[in-house]
């Protein structure tokens, strides 16, 4: 997901989002961790320098790719509001998604623009 420079950032978050149908979706929530480093700051650094940054989705190995949801999201009017949740550190942020790219069969794809992707993603 391509996140824009002027996206709103906040520390407040609704307590419950469950039961939302994709057809009525206005917000997507992505879980992240700081396992690879200070995730948000690494993305902010790229965004500040280049105006936008790609946010890669690395699902857990046992999780399904949910290509059906990604395909539906790709039909939504952009920008799309995105919640970023680091539940371990209780950090909750909001950004705006300008573009969605994904493997049509759930396969990993290279970063759409390597310059706008934090270095810790490597060549993915």
Q: Give the pLDDT mean for 30-42.
A: 88
- Contact by Cβ (8 Å): 36, 120: yes
> Where in the chain are the domains?
2-12+26-112
Q: Give the pLDDT mean for 86-109.
A: 88
Top-confidence residue, 92 or 5: 92
Closest CA to 42 of 32, 53, 58, 29: 53
Calculate the average pLDDT of the chain.
77
Q: Is the pTM of this model over 0.85?
A: no
């Amino acid at each position: 997901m391509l996140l824009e420079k002027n996206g709103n950032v906040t520390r407040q978050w609704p307590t419950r989002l469950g039961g939302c149908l994709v057809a009525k979706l206005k917000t997507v929530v992505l879980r992240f961790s700081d396992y690879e480093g200070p995730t948000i700051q690494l993305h902010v650094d790229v965004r500040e320098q280049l105006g936008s940054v790609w946010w890669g989705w690395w699902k857990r190995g046992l999780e399904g790719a949910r290509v059906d949801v990604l395909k539906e999201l790709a039909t939504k009017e952009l920008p799309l509001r995105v919640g970023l949740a680091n539940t371990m550190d209780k950090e909750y942020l909001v950004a705006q998604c300008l573009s969605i790219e994904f493997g049509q069969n759930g396969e990993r794809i290279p970063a759409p623009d390597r310059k706008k992707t934090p270095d810790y993603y490597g060549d993915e």
